[in-house]
Chain A
């Protein structure tokens, strides 16, 4: 089970931190994703983090503004969002990854197999 929280209404240029609480599986065995869906739009992949937090990957649209992290002692995933723009308005999902990591990279080859229900972020003045 994945439960997101932290969504809110924020002004352009502001910051927000999303959280995702995981249960029902061994959290530190898995990579984790953030995915978003803007109003009336399709799915957009946002970010991925390795099982141990040492490797992170981002969509070009959020690189340098968003930061993914995890706390395996608390079974928790986070997304720190800075310099928010109106186009960041979306429903944000966390999802469990199926794949593996090597020393060089992570390979989430087998899809996102568990999803939360999402938390809504609205960026508006």
Chain B
């Protein structure tokens, strides 16, 4: 089971935003982060907890291992309006966190 927090947040352009994902059991670093914009397919941002997917802006950063993980957006941009999900890929069934909706103030 994956627990994401917060479930929603509102921040200003340029702010640093942090989303956390906690696993109920250790999952090594087999965690991915996705961005889902309204009406669009999910987009892989980070895999293996901290590896940036090709083409993803460097303001996105993932960290963590074991049970505690973090997605950080270093300087929030208007186009980052979206819901963010973590996913554990260590064991079956694969599971997603509940999502964090990011709004722009």
**A residues neighboring B (CB under 8 Å):** 35, 42-45, 48, 57-60, 93, 95, 98-99, 107-113, 115-118
Contact = CB atoms under 8 A, between A and B. Distances in A.
Contacts of B95: 45
Contacts, number: 67
Nearest to A35: B42
A111 B89 contact: yes
Given A110-B51, A110-B89, 8 more contacts: A43-B36, A43-B99, A57-B93, A59-B93, A98-B47, A109-B48, A110-B32, A113-B47
Contacts of A108: 89, 94
Nearest to A118: B41
A111 B94 contact: no
A46 B92 CA distance: 11
B93 A45 contact: yes
Q: Name which of B48, B51, B92, B94 has the most chain A CB atoms within 10 A of its CB.
A: B94
- Size bracket, chain B contacts: 20 to 34
Interface of B: 30, 32, 34, 36, 41-44, 47-48, 51, 53, 83, 85, 87, 89-90, 92-99
B46 to A, nearest CB: 8
A44 B32 contact: no
A58 B34 CA distance: 21
